[in-house]
Chain A
Amino acid sequence: MLYLLVLIPIAGALASMLGVKPRQSALLASLAMLALSAFLIAGFAAPAPEKFRYLASFDVVAAIDLKMLVGLDGLGAMMVLLTSIVTVCAIQLSPQPKHSEGAYFGSLMLISAGCQGAFISLDLFFLYAFHELALIPTFLLIGIWGHGDRIQAAWKITIYLALGSFVLLLGLLGLYVSLPAGTRTFDLTKLYALQQGAGGALIPVGEQGWIFLTLLIGFGILISLFPFHTWAPTGYAAAPTPAAMLHAGVLKKFGLFGLLRIAYPLLPQGAQAYGNLLLWLLAGNILYVGLVTIAQRRLDQMLGYSSVMHMGYIFLGLASLNVIGQSGAALLLFAHGLSVAALLGVMGDLRERLGTTQMEDLGGLARVMPNLCLFFGLALFASIGLPGFANFAAEVLVFFGAFGATPVNVNGLLNFSPIQWAVIVALWGVVISAVYMLRAFRNIFFGPLRDAHRQQVDLAPAHRWPFALLAAGLLVVGFYPKALLELIKPGVQPVATTKVAQN
């Protein structure tokens, strides 16, 4: 049944490409996908002994134990739900492409299919391969229907992602060949079981370091980890709105999901060895990219950089190496996905109707577009991390987890461990994001209204419900994060258990 999660969007993509009412078939497929993911999540209400549910597999190359194994745990289920929600909203909010409508919606659905496939795969190979399904659609979407310097941006994003993914491939292959003879497999469930049996040292400790580093760089390029982030802002700014929503909201989360699924559980010693390097890099994400974000004058660029910056918090949660921090990171995947999708949706709507995202050229739009202003405000406050939104719950967990990762030294005032310093730096990041977000809000929606914009009308009714859906998701999880936390707990558990085992 889980295969349907990939087959539905692919069917939608094929229907669109063959020209069967492209927009409607894409929307229909994504709604079906949303319904299916809701149904799958509902199944988690009943407790079950096994960690992964809905397992299904067929052999691809039996000789190297490569099979298309799919299954869901809570973490995967959450990502599947995120993908479905963002896809529905992206399709519904999409402006009408000027030509080749079929290829446009087909490409979007292929990106979505790739994300779903990656999140349900329990096989190293297909987890990797599904992510790459987005590569060509992205190239086409940006190159054909993009904005600004679209061809340049299409090249940049494609080559970065291709390079990153082949670095990643080297890491995954390194992991595979370093397995003890006779146990080589791509099957994650088997690997987890082996890892538990080996007390966290399934991969020889001497090998873990370089494999972890390769995976970190490979995934890091896909996540836009500093200093491999420069493709992201230009790419998001140039991409058509729905493509940017899918990329920033969902696809980028794949890298973090992969670290959480593969690198941390299977390479605990490697993760410890390179923990401090990661702290430096994530500080770069938060501080350096944060300051760059403040300097942006265009809303699309600003949102692109801000999404890069927020990846720093998620990395901080991962670096904590404990359940609290990593649950926070996982929750932040979801929260950030929804909030950045909503922000980019508003940006796209403005760009489509006003023809500019230059913040000096805008102002006072709250008077003519109250609904749009409301949704932008909600997404923006969520993004800063205001209590009541999902992002707040997640960031608090990340900060607590990370600060508690090492014993707190009560004797000296400034006797912090590296990760505690990173938390302090990250807290300033919250201030930075408040500065640029609130300034953008003021510049665009308040102050004097430009004469040219007096005739503008509010958000079209058909575009209201996607925003409402995104905002509702943020608020529900914000007020009751326990629901999702319970769901994802087993997914981050292996990391914690391996840590215990080595103590």
Chain B
Amino acid sequence: MNPIYLEAAVVVLGLVLLMAEAFAPKVEKKTFAWLAVAGLLLVLAATFFVDTAGLGKAAWQRFYAVDAAAMFFKRFALLTTVLVLIMSVEYVPVLQRYISGTPQGGGVAEFFCLPIFTCAGLMWMASAIDLTMVFVSLELVTISFYILVTFTRRRGDSLEAGVKYLILGALSTGFLVYGITWTYGLTGQTALAKIGPALAALKDQDTAIFFAFLLIMVALGFKIAAVPFQLWVPDVYQGAPTPITAFLSVGSKAAGFIVMLRILDVFLSVPALVGRIGQVLVLCAAATLIYGNLAALPQTNFKRLLAYSSIAHAGYLLITVASVLPQAGGSAPVLPAGETIAFYLAGYLLMTLLSFTVMVVVANYAPGDDIAHFNGLHQRSPFLAAALLIAMASLAGVPFTVGFFGKFYVFAGAVAARSWLLAAIGVVSVGAGFYYYFKVIRAMYFQPPAPGQETPVLLAQPTKLVIGALAALILLLGVFPQPALDLYSKGGRPAPVAQTR
């Protein structure tokens, strides 16, 4: 099967569901969510039947890659969207409280359809190897997020988050376009494969090239929540509907990293710039780690905590990106950077979505999203408490969880590249991480439930299944990471992404 049908199928699915919702108002709204889940799962299954080897040299391959990295991140986007949609079903009670909906449940179905378009955008981003393609797919993602973030429009927080996201998102788009313009002006090309050689052939244009690189990195920095472009993160994460927060933190970040790796590879073909680019990456990684972890320490709101944690994890991933350029005396990397990042993000997907799902379920019993909401969860639902315990342990990096394996690879990369500064900051960050993630465990196990909140937490069967599966996967991949690694390294043609260095 030709891979370009995958995105097409996703877009068609979204359109059909939107139309169906408009013409069949009597149908139970949750049906659309389950239809969307089923459709996306079908597409996910189809990705395994894509014929990547037998493709010729079709014209669209100039802007659309079908390498292993692309396939991996397409599946990543599909799985994320499926899990977000399941989470959204649990979120319906909150949703109905905050949207007007003249007929009962009006406007809910769009909440299930819009993420499908985001998903298509994320999948295109995974394959984008042309700057215009990067821009268009990125905008598809961002614009659908503008709507989703403000979806609970009767809640002030959500509107505030939406405005902040809109303004800063537009700003970052501006940076991206400006950077693309500079690159085009310098080389006359938009295809990444051609920009590299064209840049390398330029004489005495280092500063201009570096400027273009910085502009593009600023735009991507917004997407992956790297310091100093992280200011929007806590407010938007806190204000957005919880499933959308999860979607933002996982999907948006993953797509940002794959694009960043592809573009980085291009600019590294200019030998004179390698040193400067290395410095920028190290600085950015160090600042992101320090800021994310230190600012997470005093948080009392669970969503804000996970927002800072999202920044912190961007920092760990940036360690790997920075380790692509070894310091003096560095030795061969333990694992290619692309594979490390893919594995880390796979783990991040599991643990972050698990945390947010538990949050959504618990918040249905008492509105709000403070860590205090988890007080005594151990007594109210040992199952949920154990699942969230596993998620927090994995986020902190306790061995035998997928999160630890991710950190293991990150640190292995840093040590092999001799990035002592980043390794040292990384260790201190991990120590801080243990504190703020374990605050949640403390709430669940050490504190008694709030008065009036002693009732057991009940779970719908599908949600229970998803939570159980996510927790089990976190532990399983923590002991046998090979399947996840294979999915990246054997998922198609060898990826050119930053592997040569």
Query: B135 interface residue, CB < 8 Å from A?
Result: no
Interface on chain A toward B: helix, strand, loop, or mixed SS? helix
A369 interface residue (CB < 8 Å to B): no
| Least distance between A12 CB and chain B CB atoms (Å) | 17
A151 to B442, CA, bound (A): 9
Q: Which residues of A contact B423 (CB under 8 A)?
A: 170
Chain B residues near A133 (CB-CB < 8 A): 399-400
- The reply to whether B438 and A139 contact each other, CB–CB distance below 8 Å, is yes
Q: Which residues of B460-498 have CB atoms within 8 Å of chain A's CB atoms?
A: 479-482, 485
A166 interface hit (Cβ, 8 Å): yes
CB–CB A177/B334 < 8 A: yes
Q: Are B445 and A155 in contact (CB under 8 A)?
A: no
Closest to A165 in B: B399
B393 CB → nearest A CB, Å = 6
- Asked if A143 is at the interface (CB within 8 A of a chain B CB), the reply is yes
The distance from the CB of B312 to the nearest CB of chain A, in whole angstroms, is 14
Report yes or no: A60 in contact with B431, Cβ–Cβ below 8 A.
no
- Closest-CB distance, A217 to chain B (whole angstroms): 11
Contacts of A169 in B (CB 8 A): 408, 411
Contact of B411 among A60, A130, A173 (CB under 8 A): A173
Q: How far is the CB of A210 from chain B (nearest CB, A)?
A: 9
A residues within 8 A CB of B200?
Answer: none
A178 on interface, CB distance cutoff 8 Å: yes
A143 pairs with B335, CB closer than 8 A: no
Asked whether any CB of chain A lies closer than 8 Å to the CB of B215, the reply is no
Q: Is the CB of B427 within 8 A of A163?
A: yes
Q: Is B332 interfacial (CB-CB < 8 Å)?
A: yes
Q: Does A181 contact B (CB under 8 A)?
A: yes
Of chain A, the residue at the smallest CB distance from B389 is A136
* A129-B404 CB under 8 A given contacts A60-B480, A60-B481, A143-B445: yes
Q: Which residues of B contact A315 (CB under 8 A)?
A: none
Q: Does B2 contact A (CB under 8 A)?
A: no
Contact A143 B446, beta carbon cutoff 8 Å: yes
Pair B398/A173 contact, Cβ less than 8 Å: no
The dominant DSSP class at the B interface is helix
List the A side residues contacting B393 at CB < 8 Å.
136
Q: Collect the chain A residues with CB atoms within 8 Å of residue B435's CB.
A: 155, 159
Find out whether the CB atom of B434 lies under 8 angstroms from the CB atom of A173.
Answer: no
Partner of A140, one of B331, B334, B430, B445: B445
Chain B, range 131-170, C-beta contacts under 8 Å to A: none
Task: Kindly supply a per-residue 1/0 record for chain A positions 147-178, scoring 1 wherever the CB is within 8 Å of any chain B CB and 0 otherwise.
Answer: 00001001100110011001101100110111
Report chain B residues within 8 Å CB of A155: 435, 438
> Who on chain B is nearest to A169 by CB?
B411
Q: Please, how many angstroms separate the alpha-carbon atoms of A129 and B434 in the complex?
A: 16
Query: In the complex, are the beta carbons of B481 and A128 less than 8 A apart?
Result: no
Give the shortest distance, in Å, between B372 (CB) and chain A (any CB): 15
B416 within 8 A of A: yes
Instruction: Tell whether, in the assembled complex, residue B446 and residue A64 are in contact, meaning their CB atoms are under 8 Å apart.
Output: no
Using A64-B334, A136-B441, A143-B442 as known contacts, say yes or no to A170 and B411 having CB atoms under 8 A apart: yes
Instruction: Give complex CA distance A455, B238 in Å.
Output: 60
Minimum CB–CB distance for A420 against chain B, Å: 36
A176 and B445 form a contact (CB under 8 A):
no
Decide if B412 is an interface residue (CB 8 Å cutoff). Answer: yes
B376 to chain A, nearest CB (A): 12
Instruction: Report which of A143, A166, A177 forms a contact with B416, defined as CB distance below 8 A.
Output: A177
| A60 and B335 form a contact (CB under 8 A) | no
Known: A162-B430, A170-B423, A173-B415. A135 touches B398 (CB 8 A): yes
A232 to B489 alpha-carbon distance, docked (Å)? 44
Q: Given A162-B430, A169-B408, A170-B427, is A129 in contact with B399 using a C-beta cutoff of 8 Å?
A: yes
Q: Is the CB of B396 within 8 A of A162?
A: yes
B412 near A177: Cβ-Cβ < 8 Å: yes
- Return A158 CB to nearest CB of chain B, in Å: 6
Q: Which B residues lie within 8 Å of A151 (CB)?
A: 442, 446
Q: Is A45 an interface residue (CB 8 A)?
A: no
User: Does B29 belong to the interface (CB within 8 Å)?
Assistant: no
Q: Does A101 contact B (CB under 8 A)?
A: no
Q: With A133-B400, A158-B434 given, is the CB distance from A139 to B411 under 8 Å? A: no
In the assembled complex, how far is the CB of residue A230 from the closest CB belonging to chain B, in whole angstroms? 15
Q: Would you list 27 pairs from A and B whose C-beta atoms are within 8 A, ordered by A residue?
A: A60-B480, A63-B335, A63-B485, A64-B334, A100-B378, A129-B400, A129-B404, A132-B398, A132-B400, A133-B399, A136-B389, A144-B446, A155-B435, A158-B434, A158-B438, A159-B434, A159-B435, A162-B434, A163-B427, A163-B431, A163-B434, A169-B408, A170-B411, A173-B416, A177-B416, A178-B331, A184-B334
Beyond the given A64-B335, A135-B398, please list 20 additional residue pairs across the A-B interface where CB-CB is below 8 A: A60-B482, A61-B481, A61-B482, A63-B335, A129-B399, A129-B400, A130-B399, A136-B398, A139-B438, A143-B442, A151-B446, A162-B396, A162-B431, A166-B431, A170-B427, A173-B408, A173-B412, A174-B415, A176-B334, A181-B331
B residues near A, CB below 8 A? Answer: 331-332, 334-335, 378, 389, 393, 396-400, 404, 408, 411-412, 415-416, 423, 426-428, 430-431, 434-435, 438, 441-442, 445-446, 479-482, 485
